[in-house]
Structure 1
C-alpha cells in the first residue's frame, strides 16, 4: 500500500491552477485574485465629514455653550465650493466635503440642531469627525495582492478603487458522479437491495463549501460502458471530476473497469482507514483530473477532505497542503489497525478535548453527521489511551 502522504503528493504534483480570466465584479465572488489591485486615487479622495453635524473652526467653540450663525448646508455629493469664516458654521451631512476654513465637525447630538443658528454645548478638537484624504488608502497603494480569495469585503475595495472588472482564477467546475446499481434518488421508493444515493449530495456540497462549483450528475449503474458515456458527456464542462464507488477489488467495479485500460488513471490501496481504495489520474486532451473515491459514505467524505480539497485549493490558486491539525486530548480510548493511518470521527470541544463518536464504521453516515473533527491515529500506533494528546483535523 502507498502512504497517504505519497498519494496526496502525486495529486498535488499533477493538478494545476486554473488559467486566469477577466470577470465583471458581479461574477467574481468566490474566485481568487490573479492580479495586483492598486488605487488610482487616495481614499477618501477628499476630506469629508464622518457624521451629521456642523463644520466649524475648533477655536470658535473652545468656550461653550456658544451660539453661531449657520450660513449654509452641504450634503454628500455636493460639488459646490464652500468656506467657513471666523465665528460661522456650516451644517454638514455624513460624507459631505469639509468646507474650506473648517477644521472640525461638531456632531449634531452636541447641539440644539438649529438651522439658522446653532447652540453648541461641547468643545471639539481639531480634526474631530473628519475623514482625511488618503487616510484609508494612498494613491498608487496596493489594496489586494494576487492569491487573495474574493469575498464581500474584497469586492467592496475593488469597486472602491474604481474597478469594474478584475483578473481572477475562477471557481473550479467539478462534476460529481455516483456509481452503483443499488442507488436510487432520494424521494423515490426503495426496492429490494436498494439504498438512497447520499454520496453525490455530500460530495457536491463539499465541493461548493470549499469554493468550487459542484454539478451533481447522480447515480450511474454498474455498466462500464454507460459510465464512460456519462463521463464523456461531462468532460466538456468539467475542470475536475469526482466519482464515488466502483474502485474496490471485487466484481462489478465500473469505474476501475472503465478507466484502468486508459493508462492515465492509477488505482491504489492507500494505507488509511477509512478509504483504502483510491483512484486518481487525468482524462482527455485537457488533462482533466479525476478523483475516483470509494463508495462507502464516510470513506468518500474523508477522502475528499484529505485529497480533493487540497487539490481544489491549488486549482483555485491557493496554497495546497496536508490538512492542518490541532492538538486535543482524547476523552476515550482509540484502536487502529497496524500500518494504516486512521481518521476517526470525533467531536472537538472548546476546552481542547475531543470525544470519539459512537459508530466508526465507514458506512455510518449518521455518526459522521454528528462529528466536527477527524482524530488522526498514525500508521504505527494501534491503540491510544484516554487522556492522550492526539492530532485533530477540523471539519
Structure 2
C-alpha cells in the first residue's frame, strides 16, 4: 500500500489542467481560480494621502516650530492647494497630501487657537502619510495564475480597478453513492438501512473545492448496475466521485467496474481511516473512489482529493501542518499512519473518545487532525503534527 505522501505524488502525475476558461464579474468570481496572473495598471494608493484624521504640516525644520498657521481644510476626494513653510491644513483620512505638505499630526496632539495650530510633542518628518504605491506598484503582479479568489483577493482586484477576471470554469463532477442499505433523508428507514450522509458531506466538500456537482443518486450493489452508472456519469463530466464499493467484499463492485470501463491506477492507501481509496480513469473522466464509512471519506477527501482538484483547476492546496503537544496517551502502536480527530484544549491536543471511521460526530467535534505515524505510541507532552480543518468549531 502507498503512503499518503506517495499517493499524493502519484495523483500529481495524473493531473490534467481544466482547459475551460470563462470571464466573470467580481460579484460572480468568489471561490473561482484565476486562469492567468493579474498585473496592476496603477499604483495603490495612487497618491500620497493621510493615514488618519488630523493636520498636515509644511515642516521646514522638524520640531523647530510648535505653532502653524491653519489655512485650509481637505476632505477625502478633494485636492488642496500648496502649503508654504509654517502652514497647516485640516485633513481627513485618505485625503491627498497637498504640495508642500510633508508631515501629518493626529488631531489628538493638536489644539487650534484663533487660526493657529499648536502642536504637543515631537514630530517625525513624514509621519502618518501613506505613500504612493506602498501597497501596490504599477506594473507588478498582484495575484498569480491559480490563485483562489476569496474576499481579500476580490477586494484587491477592485482596488486596482479590475471589474472582470478570467477564471477556470468549475470542474464538472458526477457524484454517486453505492449500497443497497442507503436511504435518502426524509424517507422512512427499513430494517438494516441507514441514511445517505456521504452524498451531502462529499457534495459539500466538492462545492467548497469550487466544483459543479451533478448527483447521480444511489447505485445498487450489482456489477451491471455499477458499470452502467459509472459509464453514464463519465459522460460530460471531468471527474466521477463515488463513495463505497471500493473494498474487497462480495458486494463491492466499483473496482471491477472501473477496471472494465477504463483503468484503475491507484488503490489502497496505508492510512487510517481511509485505506480503501481508489483513483483511475473512465474515458476522459478521472475516477475517484472514496470509502463508504463517512469519516474515512471525509479524511481521504481532505488529504488526497482536495489537493488533486485544486491542481486540476490550476491552483494548489496544501495541508498546513503545525506541531503541538499531545494531552493524552496511547500505548498501542498502529500499523498504518493514523489521522486522529482532535481538538485543542488547554494548549494540547485531545482526541475524540471514539475514533471509529463510522462516527461522523468525531469530524464535527474536532477542529483538526493529528498525525500518528505507524509504529508510534503517544504519551502526554509528545509533539504531534496537527492540521487545523477550519477556523471555527462546534462547542
Coarse TM-score class (shorter-chain normalised): 0.7 to 0.9
- Preserved CA contact (<8 Å) 2:16 2:312: yes
Number of equivalences: 383
- Which residue number corresponds to residue 38 of structure 1? 39
Distance 1:113 1:208 in 2: 58
Distance 2:348 2:88 in 1: 62
Shift of 1:205: 2.9
Change (3 A) 1:46 1:16: same
Alignment of 1:106-145 (within 5 A): 106-112=105-111, 117-122=115-120, 124-145=123-144
Does the residue aligned with 1:176 lie in a helix, a strand or coil? strand
Q: Which moved more, 1:295-304 or 1:226-235?
A: 226-235
| CA deviation profile, 1:68-121 (whole Å, cap 9, x unmatched) | 353x4333223x56222355443333222222232233433344568x935434
Does the residue aligned with 1:27 lie in a helix, a strand or coil? coil
> TM-score when scaled to structure 2?
0.80
Shift of 1:312: 2.0
- Preserved CA contact (<8 Å) 2:354 2:362: yes
Shift of 1:351: 6.6
- Preserved CA contact (<8 Å) 2:341 2:355: no
Distance 1:145 1:358 in 2: 43
Change (3 A) 1:323 1:163: closer
Distance 2:210 2:256 in 1: 28
Among 299, 312, 315, the alignment partner of 2:312 is 315
Distance 1:139 1:302 in 2: 43
Q: Which moved more, 1:191-200 or 1:165-174?
A: 165-174
Shift of 1:192: 1.5
Among 343, 357, 368, the alignment partner of 1:362 is 357
Query: Is 1:68 the counterpart of 2:69 in the alignment?
Result: yes
- Preserved CA contact (<8 Å) 1:272 1:342: yes
> TM-score when scaled to structure 1?
0.80
- Which residue number corresponds to residue 47 of structure 1? 48
Shift of 1:328: 4.5
Among 384, 388, 392, the alignment partner of 2:377 is 384
Does the residue aligned with 1:133 lie in a helix, a strand or coil? coil
Does the residue aligned with 1:349 lie in a helix, a strand or coil? strand
Does the residue aligned with 1:28 lie in a helix, a strand or coil? coil
- Which residue number corresponds to residue 250 of structure 1? 249
Change (3 A) 1:144 1:362: closer
Change (3 A) 1:83 1:3: closer
Among 347, 353, 369, the alignment partner of 1:373 is 369
Distance 1:134 1:367 in 2: 48
Alignment of 1:205-354 (within 5 A): 205-209=204-208, 211-213=209-211, 215=213, 217=215, 219-222=217-220, 223-224=222-223, 226-227=225-226, 230-231=229-230, 234-235=233-234, 238-266=237-265, 268-284=267-283, 287-319=284-316, 324=321, 326=323, 328-329=325-326, 331-335=328-332, 340-349=335-344, 353-354=348-349
Unaligned runs of 5+ in 2: 390-395
Does the residue aligned with 1:140 lie in a helix, a strand or coil? coil
Change (3 A) 1:134 1:233: same
Q: Which moved more, 1:232-241 or 1:362-371?
A: 232-241
